[in-house]
Amino acid sequence: MAALIAENFRFLSLFFKSKDVMIFNGLVALGTVGSEELFSVVAFHCPCSPARNYIYGLAAIGVPALALFLIGVIWNNHTWNLVAECHKRGTKNFSAAATFLLFGSIMGRASVAPITWSVISLLRGEAYICALSEFFKPSSLDKFPAEYGAEVLAKIPCRDVPANLTKFRDEVTRRLRYESQLFGWLLIGIVAVLIFLTKCLKHCCSPLSYRQEAYWAQYRSNEDKLFRRTAEVHSRILAAKNVKQFFGFVALDKEEKELVQEFPVEGVQPSPQWNAITGVYIYRENKGFPLYSRLHKWAKGVEGNGPTPEGHELLFLAS
């Protein structure tokens, strides 16, 4: 039981596992800030009409945040690795906690941009003021004319109010902006605390030393770069051979001719090999030696994805 609990807690390292991830999240946040500023200047126009204000204000915050969230899910490599894993091998190799935290990693990474959008929208206050102006309680204002209701209050964001209500307009706007910014700062605080706790748990539960984890990150980066570069060259040479077989010749530039001469391609990799190196990878050790990726595991000839009698495997998700 203790081993199972320790195994599942190691999956708490799903969030923010490397400086590269932190830099990427920072760039996403900065890009989102710029997009929100542009949206507020160009696209946001409160309808200043009862019932419409609330829907429009919430949509201005929620719909872009939803779109950014879905884009984040699509761009996350874990999403498609998980799809491939479920399609080829199912989730039998993962415990319920591991599967849950894997989804948590995908959701957490995808939440960077929508949370940033929501925070900036709340700090600016325009969407919040538009959405809730008609629900403002006139009784909280001293000497506010009783004959005016939600229809007039809904026009406050557009400053289209009767002359005798001009002095109340700034007060209503100020209070609503205060509430909006308060929610924005609270959201920042909550997210900061969650990130801090996650980082602490990650370092406490990691089965790797700091240096080995840094080495693993470098290995994954280098393997990915070399694999992509080699795959591009391999596919180009293979395509050249097939085109030559069809036409009898192939039009290659000088660089491509050198590639064809230097790297002879005899054939293609069978599908079982592609399937073996595709999918979610969890850090493993076999006979005390680390296996840093599915490709590394395939190259060492280690079969299966579960623990073996000869090897002890530590579960730690790659970023």
C-beta of residue 98 within 8 angstroms of C-beta of residue 11: yes
Residues in Cβ contact with 221 at an 8 Å cutoff, skipping those fewer than 6 apart: 20
Q: How high is the pLDDT of residue 224?
A: 92
- Assess contact for 10 and 94: CB atoms under 8 A: no
Please report the pLDDT score of residue 86 as a whole number. Answer: 74
pLDDT at 26: 58
Residues 230-259: tens digit of each pLDDT: 999 999 999 999 999 999 999 999 998 998
- Give me the residues of the chain with pLDDT under 70, please: 1-42, 87-98, 101, 144, 146-149, 163, 165, 303-319
Q: Are 237 and 258 in contact (CB under 8 A)?
A: no
DSSP assignment string, 99-111: HHHHHHHHHHHHT
Closest CA to 224 of 301, 278, 300: 278
Domain segments of the chain as ranges: 38-205, 210-300
Residue 317's region, left for phi above 0, alpha for psi from -120 to 50, else beta, is beta
Question: Would you say 132 and 57 are in contact if contact means Cβ atoms under 8 Å apart?
Answer: yes
Task: Find the helix packing angle between 96-110 and 112-124, rounded to 10°.
Answer: 40
* Residues 220-233: tens digit of each pLDDT: 999 999 999 999 99
Q: What are phi and psi of 285, to 5 degrees?
A: -125, 135
Predicted local confidence at residue 32, as pLDDT:
61
pTM: 0.68
